[in-house]
Amino acid sequence: MVAVKKIKKGRPPKVEKKSKNSRINSMTKTTKSIMKKNETNIKEKKTSSRAKVSPEKSIGKIKFEHPPIYFFGGGKADGDGGMRDLLGGKGAGLAEMTRTGIPVPPGFTITTEVCKVYYQNNLEVPPEVDREMEKYIAKMESILGTKFGDSENPLLVSVRSGAKFSMPGMMDTVLNLGLNKDTLEGLIKKTENERFVWDNYRRFVQMFGNVVLGIDKEKFEEVIEAKKKERKIKQDSSLQVEDLSDIVKKYKAIIKKKTGELFPDDPWMQLRMARDAVFRSWNNPRAISYRKLNNIATNLGTAVNIQAMVFGNMGNSSGTGVGFTRNPSTGVKEFYGEYLLNAQGEDVVAGIRTPQPISQLGHEMPEVYKQLREITTRLEKHNRDVQDFEFTIQEGKLYMLQTRTGKRTVQAALKIAVDMVKEKLITKEEALMRFDPAQLDQLLHPRLDPKADIEIIAKGLPASPGAASGAIFFTADAAVKAAKGGDSVILVRQETNPDDIEGMHAAAGILTSRGGMTSHAAVVARGMGKCCIAGCEAARVNEAKKQLQIGKLIIKEKEVITLNGSTGEVMIGAVATIEPELSGEFAEFMSWADEIKKLKVRANADTPRDAIQARKFGAEGIGLCRTEHMFFAEDRLSIVQDMILADSIEERQHALDKLLPFQRHDFKALFEVMDGLPVTIRTLDPPLHEFLPDKKAIEEEITKLDKTDEHYDNQLAKKRKILQRIDELKEINPMLGHRGCRLGIVFPEITEMQVRAIIEAAYQVMKDKKRVVPEIMIPLVGHINEFSNQKEVVKRIAEEVLLKHKVKDFEYLIGTMIEIPRAVLIADEIAGEADFFSFGTNDLTQMTMGFSRDDAGKFLRYYVEKNILPKDPFVSIDQDGVGKLIEMGVKKGRSVKSNLKIGICGEHGGDPDSIEFCHRMGLDYVSCSPFRVPIARLSAAQATIKEKKKTAERDK
Amino acid sequence: MVAVKKIKKGRPPKVEKKSKNSRINSMTKTTKSIMKKNETNIKEKKTSSRAKVSPEKSIGKIKFEHPPIYFFGGGKADGDGGMRDLLGGKGAGLAEMTRTGIPVPPGFTITTEVCKVYYQNNLEVPPEVDREMEKYIAKMESILGTKFGDSENPLLVSVRSGAKFSMPGMMDTVLNLGLNKDTLEGLIKKTENERFVWDNYRRFVQMFGNVVLGIDKEKFEEVIEAKKKERKIKQDSSLQVEDLSDIVKKYKAIIKKKTGELFPDDPWMQLRMARDAVFRSWNNPRAISYRKLNNIATNLGTAVNIQAMVFGNMGNSSGTGVGFTRNPSTGVKEFYGEYLLNAQGEDVVAGIRTPQPISQLGHEMPEVYKQLREITTRLEKHNRDVQDFEFTIQEGKLYMLQTRTGKRTVQAALKIAVDMVKEKLITKEEALMRFDPAQLDQLLHPRLDPKADIEIIAKGLPASPGAASGAIFFTADAAVKAAKGGDSVILVRQETNPDDIEGMHAAAGILTSRGGMTSHAAVVARGMGKCCIAGCEAARVNEAKKQLQIGKLIIKEKEVITLNGSTGEVMIGAVATIEPELSGEFAEFMSWADEIKKLKVRANADTPRDAIQARKFGAEGIGLCRTEHMFFAEDRLSIVQDMILADSIEERQHALDKLLPFQRHDFKALFEVMDGLPVTIRTLDPPLHEFLPDKKAIEEEITKLDKTDEHYDNQLAKKRKILQRIDELKEINPMLGHRGCRLGIVFPEITEMQVRAIIEAAYQVMKDKKRVVPEIMIPLVGHINEFSNQKEVVKRIAEEVLLKHKVKDFEYLIGTMIEIPRAVLIADEIAGEADFFSFGTNDLTQMTMGFSRDDAGKFLRYYVEKNILPKDPFVSIDQDGVGKLIEMGVKKGRSVKSNLKIGICGEHGGDPDSIEFCHRMGLDYVSCSPFRVPIARLSAAQATIKEKKKTAERDK
Task: Please name the residues in contact with B724: beta carbons below 8 A apart, sequence gap of 6 or more.
Answer: none
Can you give the pTM of this predicted structure? 0.75
d(CA A874, CA A878): 8
With CA atoms as reference, report the closest residue to A412 among A376, A443, A441.
A443
Long-range contacts of A605-608 (CB under 8 A, 24+ apart): A605/A670, A605/A930, A606/A527, A606/A630, A607/A666, A607/A670, A608/A666, A608/A669, A608/A670, A608/A672, A608/A673
The per-residue pLDDT for range A330-383, each reduced to its tens digit, is: 899 999 888 988 887 766 655 557 788 999 999 999 999 999 999 999 999 998
B780 touches chain A (CB under 8 A): yes
In the predicted structure, residue A522 carries a pLDDT above the cut 90: no
With CA atoms as reference, report the closest residue to B375 among B144, B100, B106, B105.
B100
Asked if B446 contacts B578 with a C-beta cutoff of 8 angstroms, the reply is yes
The per-residue pLDDT for range B554-595, each reduced to its tens digit, is: 999 999 999 998 889 999 999 998 888 777 899 999 999 999
Residues in chain B: 956
pLDDT mean over B617-632: 92
Amino acid, single-letter form, for residue B128: E
The per-residue pLDDT for range A200-240, each reduced to its tens digit, is: 899 899 999 998 999 988 899 899 999 999 999 887 778 89
Amino acid, single-letter form, for residue A287: A
- Write down the pLDDT at residue B295: 76
A850 touches chain B (CB under 8 A): yes
User: For an interface test with A, which of B781, B793, B822 has the most A Cβ atoms less than 10 Å from its Cβ?
Assistant: B822
Asked if B508 contacts B561 with a C-beta cutoff of 8 angstroms, the reply is no
Q: How far apart are the first and last CA of chain A?
A: 31
The per-residue pLDDT for range A400-449, each reduced to its tens digit, is: 988 888 888 788 899 999 999 999 999 999 999 998 888 887 788 888 88
> What kind and span of H or E run contains B357?
strand B356-357
Amino acid, single-letter form, for residue B561: I
DSSP A425: S
Percent of chain B residues topping a pLDDT of 70: 92
In the predicted structure, residue B781 carries a pLDDT above the cut 90: yes
The per-residue pLDDT for range A560-577, each reduced to its tens digit, is: 999 998 889 999 999 998
B454 touches chain A (CB under 8 A): no
Q: How far apart are the first and last CA of chain B?
A: 32
3-state secondary structure of A29: helix
Catalytic residues of A: 520, 905
Asked if A814 contacts A794 with a C-beta cutoff of 8 angstroms, the reply is yes
Q: Report CA dihedral (B590, B595, B599, B602) to the nearest 10 degrees.
A: 50
Number of helical H runs and strand E runs in chain B: 36, 36
Confidence of residue B7 (pLDDT cuts 50, 70, 90): very low
Q: Is the dihedral of CA A438, A440, A445, A448 positive or negative?
A: positive
Are B881 and A732 inside 8 Å of each other by CB? no
A881 touches chain B (CB under 8 A): yes
The answer to which of A473-487, A513-527, A712-726, B656-670 has the lowest mean pLDDT is A513-527
Task: Please name the residues in contact with B185: beta carbons below 8 A apart, sequence gap of 6 or more.
Answer: B151
Mean pLDDT across chain A: 88
Task: Please name the residues in contact with A401: beta carbons below 8 A apart, sequence gap of 6 or more.
Answer: A104, A105, A310, A345, A390, A391, A392
Asked if A103 contacts A400 with a C-beta cutoff of 8 angstroms, the reply is yes
Neighbours of B537 (CB within 10 A): 11
Are B854 and A733 inside 8 Å of each other by CB? yes
Confidence of residue B445 (pLDDT cuts 50, 70, 90): confident
Mean pLDDT across chain B: 88
Task: Please name the residues in contact with A693: beta carbons below 8 A apart, sequence gap of 6 or more.
Answer: A499, A722
- Write down the pLDDT at residue B299: 85
Please list every residue in chain B whose beta carbon sits closer than 8 Å to the beta carbon of residue A884. 825
**In angstroms, what separates the C-alpha of A854 from chain B's closest C-alpha?**
7
pLDDT mean over B713-726: 90
In the predicted structure, residue B23 carries a pLDDT above the cut 80: no
β-strands B461-464, B531-534 pairing: antiparallel
Are A820 and B732 inside 8 Å of each other by CB? no
Are A856 and B736 inside 8 Å of each other by CB? yes
**In angstroms, what separates the C-alpha of A801 from chain B's closest C-alpha?**
26
d(CA A311, CA A392): 7
B13 touches chain A (CB under 8 A): no
Confidence of residue B36 (pLDDT cuts 50, 70, 90): very low
With CA atoms as reference, report the closest residue to A572 among A555, A558, A557.
A555
d(CA B257, CA B438): 52
> What kind and span of H or E run contains B312?
none
- Write down the pLDDT at residue A535: 87
Exposed, middle or buried by CB within 10 Å (0-12, 13-18, 19+), for B295? exposed
- Write down the pLDDT at residue B34: 38
How far is CA A830 from its chain centroid? 38
CA Rg value for chain B: 34
d(CA A603, CA A589): 20
In the predicted structure, residue B271 carries a pLDDT above the cut 80: yes
Confidence of residue A73 (pLDDT cuts 50, 70, 90): very high
Q: Which of residues 741-760 of A touch B (CB under 8 A)?
A: 742, 745-746
Which ipTM score applies to this complex? 0.75
More confident position, B198 or B9: B198
- Write down the pLDDT at residue B61: 53
A856 touches chain B (CB under 8 A): yes
Strand partners of residue A902: A837
**In angstroms, what separates the C-alpha of A671 from chain B's closest C-alpha?**
32
Q: Report CA dihedral (B871, B875, B877, B882) to the nearest 10 degrees.
A: 90
Most confident of A616-620, A628-632, A712-716: A616-620
pLDDT mean over B449-458: 87
Neighbours of B417 (CB within 10 A): 26
Strand partners of residue B925: B600, B903
Asked if A72 contacts A95 with a C-beta cutoff of 8 angstroms, the reply is yes
β-strands B447-448, A577-578 pairing: unpaired
In the predicted structure, residue B15 carries a pLDDT above the cut 80: no
Exposed, middle or buried by CB within 10 Å (0-12, 13-18, 19+), for B711? exposed
The per-residue pLDDT for range A181-191, each reduced to its tens digit, is: 999 998 898 87
**In angstroms, what separates the C-alpha of A788 from chain B's closest C-alpha?**
9
In the predicted structure, residue B495 carries a pLDDT above the cut 80: yes
**Max CA separation in chain A (angstroms):** 110
DSSP B867: T
d(CA B137, CA B149): 11
Please list every residue in chain A whose beta carbon sits closer than 8 Å to the beta carbon of residue B881. 782-783, 822, 825-826
Helix ranges, B693-840 (H): 695-704, 712-729, 741-746, 748-767, 784-804, 821-825, 827-831
d(CA A734, CA A942): 38
Are B736 and A734 inside 8 Å of each other by CB? no
Q: What share of chain B is helix, strand, coil (3-state, %, to 5)?
A: 50, 15, 35
Task: Pick the residue from chain A with its C-alpha nearest to B786.
Answer: A868
- Write down the pLDDT at residue A484: 87
How would DSSP label each residue in B131-146? HHHHHHHHHHHHHHT-
**In angstroms, what separates the C-alpha of A733 from chain B's closest C-alpha?**
4
Catalytic residues of B: 520, 905
β-strands A813-818, A773-778 pairing: parallel
pLDDT mean over A68-84: 94
How would DSSP label each residue in A804-844? HTT--S---EEEEEE-SHHHHHTHHHHHTT-SEEEEEHHHH
More confident position, A617 or A46: A617
With CA atoms as reference, report the closest residue to B890 among B847, B860, B859, B920.
B920
